[in-house]
Each structure stands twice: as structure tokens, then as C-alpha cells.
A and B are shown apart, each in its own frame.
Chain A
Amino acid sequence: MTDTRKKLPLDKDILRLLQERDQRAITLLYEYYSPALYNIILQLVRTEAIAEEVMQDAFLKIWEKVEQYDPKKGRLFTWMVRICRNMAIDTLRSSQFKKGNKTDSISDSVYNDETLTQSPKETDPGLRKVVSKMDEQSRKIIDLLFFQDYTQSEASELLGIPLGTIKSRSRKAIQDLRAILKDEGLASFLLFSLIETVRRYLGY
């Protein structure tokens, strides 16, 4: 599956449009990736109004900085996630959000208040299925490191596991995720929706 997807020129097509300064690339990226990116931003800034602003800024930055993206170093999505995350964090810093707050309130706002983690479960059957198959610790560690942008030491503190094992735990969590996604064939489903989106746009 990895191979199939790698051979498909979808990211390349979008990238080419971006590099050609074709604004359709932004619409295309938005249509396909905005929910995922919006979720990542929202989990960091917590407020829809701020998340919306960060989204706008992030997409403009993606448009402006596309020459800095190196396909050899990773996938376009990973690069975009980084931009979104950095902009969300910059916004939080400029709005006097202290890192201490994040650690202090994490138990209240994220894991005791179920709204953020639960709402996607209810709306997306695919996600519900995947999450139900993951063990709690794997899910938490991915959420903290990937969605909440915790550092390894922050995650080790919150989860009460030694710093030295965070690396191996996160590897295990992601490997679990890979196995579940492969079983579910979700990847190919997502892939085809991407293909469709691109084709619709480019008129293939």
C-alpha cells in the first residue's frame, strides 16, 4: 500500500500547482487537508475563532513558503502540520498563554473534559473503529505528542512513565496504529478520496 501511494502523483500534482503559483492548489489542499489541520490547530488553541485565524495564516504561509518544502525530507502533510502547529503556538504565546497553564490544566481540559476527544468519535465511524482497536496508552501518547504537541518529558510527566521509555512507547503506539489502519483498509479509502478530489479539480 505504501508503494501504491508513493507512486501516485497526487502530492506532486498539488506541489506542482503550488510551485506554479496556481491558486487552485490552495483550494485543493484546503478541501482535502483542512479538517485534519483545523483539528490539530483547534486542539492547541482551544478557541474556534483563534483556530480560524491561525488556519488562514497557516495556509497563506504554506503558499508563501512552498519553496522551502523539500519532498526528500518528508511528506507535504507533515510539513503543513508543522507550519500549523508553529503558528498555533506562536499565537498562543502572543496571547499570553503560558506553557505552565498547558501542563496544569491538561488533566482538566483534555482528559477529564471529554468533549475534544469524544466528539470526532461520535461523528466518524471510521475513527471510532480505529480508536476502539487501539489500547488506551497508545492513543494517549499519540494524542499528547502529535495533537497536543507535548515534549517527551512533558508526556512522561503526565503519563507517569519514565522519559527513557517514551521513545519506545511512541514507536509501539504508531506501529499499532499502522497495523490497525492497514487492517481497516482505511488508508486506501482516504487515498481514493484524495485522488477523487484532485481529479475533480484538475479535470483529469
Chain B
Amino acid sequence: MDIKAYISSGILEQYVLGKLSPQEEAEVAQKAEQHPEIRQELDAIEMALEEYALLHGKMPPPGVLSAILQRLHAEQQLPGQAPTRRRRLLSYAAGLLLVVAVAGLLAFYQKTRQQEGVIAGLNQQMEAVRQSCDSVQLVAQQLENILDFVRQPATRAIAMESTGLSPDAIATVFYNPETQRSLIGVGQLPTPASDKQYQLWAITGAGPVSMGVFELAAGGQPLQEVSFVSDAQAFAVTLENRGGSPAPTLDQMYVLGNNS
């Protein structure tokens, strides 16, 4: 390529003046990169026009620079404002989160309290169940104990029958001379007045001997322990003043049975 001819064609001036099409411009730029003479010529043209333009300079009205700087400042603050907005949003979110967290915690606390109440209730119930279970077990043990006693070969059951004072009256004495233990089972006896109590008697060769007083309802037990009296020939139940009497009131004898 004839560089001198290219330079003197005037295309470089048109390039600097911005009169070329984009393709032509790219071509000149490429040639300027390849050939330092072209670059140098472009520089000289640019500088001449720059200086000419500077000579023609006309002072802009005052205030333009400060307006530019103000706008620059405002625009530069825009990206700074975004984080501020984001930060504000973030703090709202954090606040909301805190409220939600506290509410959640309260709800959790409340629920825990409720559950604690439920658990306490369950514990109470369980305690009651265990107690009743214990008492049932105790009753069962006592029943077992009674059953053992009743099953012993030496234990005799002596039915005492009504003397006529109360036609339906009936009671049974379980009597074991070997173990020297005796129990009474009430079949049917009239409910006594509150100042009266039934008393069991053993009739021996020496006369009647008290085996003790007893209640009709004996804590759910079918049989009640009574004092053992040896050599009993017969048994009888009389109604006495509460606490019992030293000798039976014969006209208040309800039941009577022979130990034969």
C-alpha cells in the first residue's frame, strides 16, 4: 500500500472529522494500528483541530460545572442508596423474623405449658392407677391369704343360722384349731344402729367367750379376722352396744351354729 498516497487522499481528515461510514472508520483504525506514519498523521490532524477548537473556546455560563458535579454526585449516590434500601428492607425482614420468632417461641412455650399440664394430669392419673393397682393388689393378696386359709384341710366352715330374730340372717365362721386362726364371713345381717355393733361369741365348756366385734362392711373383704378361742363348741352373733360387751345379750342373738 502506498502510505503517502493514502495519507494525502484526505481520508484521515474525514476520519477525524467523523465523516466516514463505520466500515471506512474501522478500516482507517486498522491501518493506523499497522502503520505508525498513519497514526502520527492522525495525531497531527487531531491536535490541529483540537487547538483550533480551543482557540474558538467560549466560556459556558457559570454554574454548569457545579450542576454537572451535583448530578454526578447524585448519580454516584444511587448505587449507594440501593444498599440502604436493601438494608432497610433487610431490617424490616429481620424485625418481622424476630416477631415471628418471638410469637413462635411464645406459642411453643404455651404449648409446652399445656403439655406439661397434660403430663402432670397423666402423672396424677397414673399415680391414682398405681395406687388403686396397689390396693387391688393388696386386696388380692388378702383374698389369696384368705383363700389359702379357707383351703387348709384343718379349716372348718361353721354356718350360723338365723335364730328367728331376723329370718334372713346368716353368717359363717372359718375355724382352724391347728393354726389357731378364725375368720367370720357375714352372709346377711340387718344394718345396726350407729351406737350398736355385732359381736361374735365362742361357746365353750366354760360359757360364752368373746371373739370380738365386727363391722358389716369390712373394706371389701369377704371375711374378717376375729380372735381365736380354742375348744369352741358353738358360735353365735349378738348385737351389743358399740365396743362390745363382756357377756352376750341373749335376746339379741341373730345367728347361731354348732361346731361339730
A residues lining the B interface (CB < 8 Å)? 2, 5-6, 21, 23, 26-27, 30-31, 33-40, 42, 48, 51-52, 55-56, 59-60, 63, 72-75, 77-78, 81-82, 85, 119-120, 124, 126-127, 130, 142, 145-147, 151-152, 167-168, 170-171, 174, 177-178, 181, 186-187, 190
User: Complex formed: what's the CA distance from A34 to B29 in Å?
Assistant: 27
> B11's contact among A36, A167, A177, A181, by CB below 8 Å, is which?
A167
Q: Do residues A181 and B19 form an inter-chain contact, with CB atoms below 8 A?
A: no
Q: Which chain B residues have a beta carbon within 8 Å of chain A's beta carbons?
A: 8-14, 16-19, 29, 32-33, 40, 42-61, 64-65, 67-69, 71-73, 75-76
Q: Can you give 15 contacting A-B residue pairs, CB < 8 Å?
A: A2-B47, A26-B69, A27-B69, A31-B65, A33-B54, A34-B64, A56-B68, A75-B50, A81-B53, A120-B55, A168-B10, A171-B13, A177-B48, A178-B44, A190-B55
User: Are A2 and B44 in contact, with the CB atoms below 8 A?
Assistant: yes
Chain A nearest CB, measured from B23 CB (Å): 15
Kindly list the 9 A-B residue pairs having the minimum CB-CB distance in the complex, ordered from nearest.
Answer: A35-B57, A167-B10, A171-B10, A127-B55, A38-B60, A36-B53, A39-B58, A178-B48, A36-B57
* CB of B120, distance to nearest CB on chain A (Å): 69
A35 adjacent to B69 (CB under 8 Å): no
Q: Are A187 and B55 in contact (CB under 8 A)?
A: no
A181–B51 contact, CB under 8 A? Answer: yes
Select A186's contact among B16, B32, B53, B55, beta carbons within 8 Å.
Answer: B55
B137 to chain A, nearest CB (A): 90
| Cα(A52)–Cα(B29), bound, Å | 32
A-side contacts of B51, CB under 8 Å: 181, 186-187, 190
Check B45–A174 contact: CB distance below 8 A. Answer: yes
Q: Closest residue to A21 on the B side, CB-wise? A: B76
Q: Which of A82, A168, A174 has the most CB of B within 10 A?
A: A174
- In the complex, how many angstroms separate the beta carbon of B144 from the nearest chain A beta carbon? 100
B49:A174 contact, CB within 8 angstroms: yes
For the complex, what is the distance from the CA of A37 to the CA of B160, rounded to whole Å? Answer: 140
Question: Nearest-CB distance from A66 to chain B (Å)?
Answer: 12
* Distance of A190 from chain B, by nearest CB (Å): 5
Closest A residue to B19 by CB, please name it.
Answer: A152
A59 to B67, CA, bound (A): 11
Query: Which of chain B's residues have a CB closer than 8 A to the CB of A120?
Result: 55-58
- CB neighbours (8 Å) of B49 from chain A are 78, 142, 146, 174, 177
What separation, in Å, do the CA atoms of A5 and B76 have in the docked complex? 33
Nearest-neighbour CB distance to chain B for A42, whole angstroms, equals 6
**B69 and A146 contacting across the interface, CB-CB below 8 Å:** no
Q: Contacts A39-B56, A52-B61 hold; do A187 and B47 have CB atoms under 8 A apart?
A: yes
**Is B55 a contact of A170 with CB atoms below 8 Å?**
no
User: A170–B17 contact, CB under 8 A?
Assistant: yes
Q: Give Cα A171–Cα B11 distance, bound, in whole angstroms.
A: 8
Q: Are A36 and B56 in contact (CB under 8 A)?
A: yes
Contact A77 B68 (CB under 8 A): no
Determine the residue in chain A with the shortest Cβ distance to B7: A171
User: Contacts A75-B50, A177-B48 hold; do A56 and B67 have CB atoms under 8 A apart?
Assistant: yes
- Whether the pair B17, A38 counts as a contact (CB closer than 8 A) is no
Contact of A74 among B13, B46, B59 (CB under 8 A): B46
**Known contacts A38-B59, A74-B46, A174-B48; can you find 18 more A-B pairs with CB under 8 A?**
A23-B73, A23-B76, A31-B65, A35-B57, A38-B64, A55-B64, A77-B50, A120-B56, A120-B57, A124-B56, A124-B57, A151-B19, A152-B19, A167-B13, A170-B13, A170-B14, A171-B13, A174-B13
Question: CA A56 – CA B76 in complex, angstroms?
Answer: 15
